Structure 1
């Protein structure tokens, strides 16, 4: 997507995309724990375990409708905001943008599922908010990474979401932090997604504390 060459336009798009991406990814992460804890509260977690259904299938079954609705509402909000603020841009990197969104969606589910494991153990949704707050703080979503003190930037570069958001901004020709070719960055995001899927598989094979013992 090529943004119209106006600084005010770019600033609004930067804030808008940062907010909506944070909202979309954050809601996916949090909803994984909410659905997992709901299964535990209803006593269905033990039942599914007895009949051989793995935890990742349990949570994913709940998450698919949510992700679809959340994605569509995010697109609608973005479109309405573009119209309301009279912003203009041309679609030229549509496939790249879609690829990033898909990978970020998978990452948000994987990380949300991994965090949900600890939320179920603690039987407390606060665990999810504590962990995600740290991820969000060291993400570069709302403000550029160069505003973060140098000793803490290590946590930013260890944040898997950072690379997806940075690539998304680069595809919109906005400010971005990593000055490397886009397709190398996209390959890095894909590698991170594969590693997170591996972590999801490992966590799913662990014993989940579906009871309150």
Structure 2
């Protein structure tokens, strides 16, 4: 009963955080176009980044369930190679489906998106994709260790809440904003919104922000190499 209650609560929290953008933008009374584009980008980024993170754990646990993880480990194949091999087709399909959904939504709802920074936008999307894989890979390590996909959902729910891509950071209580500042996703999302001329929080130059995002990504990639070198618990013992 306790276990089911925790699962239900986590679902309710994710539902509320998904609805918050609409509620907040309605309260502050911004224009309909700004409101729609903010919610649209938040929703699609949540799906794209979130699914990349979660799918790392799903693929890792699938390899464990089929017993292939132990086999790969015996012949010397690193966990990063195992999971990345599964993730590349998924990321490609997810990326293009997200772009298609975004384009169709803009056309159907007559949303105007003004930006002269197309190359920067592509760069940020690529960086966020790499970050989502890196974070997902680290979470997958703990999901395999605990042999439970729920571990991935719980960890990601916390990251999601303090990332800035569900709703503006301005609405997070000041004492909790330190959790936002240590969230790798925050800086890429903030830069993405700045490029789309939406509300953004970090008041530094765009290229300083892109440099910071790149630096964080390098650290995450190094983290993947470290976690991949560990002995993963591929057996169920």
Shorter chain as denominator, the TM-score bin is: over 0.9
1:115-126 matches, cutoff 5 A = 115-126=139-150
Matched, 1:9 2:40: no
Q: Distance in 2 between matches of 1:75 and 1:158?
A: 28
Superposed CA offset, 1:28-59 (max 9, x none) = 00000000000000000011111111000000
Q: Distance in 1 between matches of 2:166 and 2:233?
A: 36
Q: What is the aligned partner in structure 2 of residue 110 from structure 1?
A: 134
Matched, 1:19 2:38: no
Matched, 1:62 2:86: yes
More deviation in 177-186 or 137-146? 137-146
Superposed CA offset, 1:111-132 (max 9, x none) = 0000000000000000000000
Gaps of 5+ in 2: 1-29
Q: Distance in 2 between matches of 1:12 and 1:90?
A: 14
Q: What is the aligned partner in structure 2 of residue 160 from structure 1?
A: 184
Q: Distance in 2 between matches of 1:142 and 1:58?
A: 31
Matched, 1:83 2:110: no
Matched, 1:145 2:172: no
Deviation at 1:92, TM superposition (A): 1.9
Moved over 3 A (4+): none
Q: What is the aligned partner in structure 1 of residue 157 from structure 2?
A: 133
Matched, 1:176 2:200: yes
The alignment's C-alpha RMSD in Å is 1.0
Q: What is the aligned partner in structure 2 of residue 53 from structure 1?
A: 77
Q: What is the aligned partner in structure 1 of residue 229 from structure 2?
A: 205
Q: Distance in 2 between matches of 1:164 and 1:91?
A: 16
Report if aligned partners of 2:115, 2:197 keep a CA contact under 8 Å in 1. no
Q: Distance in 2 between matches of 1:176 and 1:91?
A: 15
Q: Distance in 2 between matches of 1:166 and 1:60?
A: 27
Superposed CA offset, 1:129-162 (max 9, x none) = 0000000011111211111111100001111001
Matched, 1:193 2:225: no
Q: TM-score, normalised by structure 2?
A: 0.86
Q: Which has the higher contact order (CA 8 A, sep 6+)?
A: 1
Q: Distance in 1 between matches of 2:103 and 2:224?
A: 33
Deviation at 1:94, TM superposition (A): 0.7
Deviation at 1:7, TM superposition (A): 2.9
Aligned residues: 208
Q: What is the aligned partner in structure 1 of residue 19 from structure 2?
A: none
Deviation at 1:165, TM superposition (A): 0.6
Deviation at 1:89, TM superposition (A): 2.9
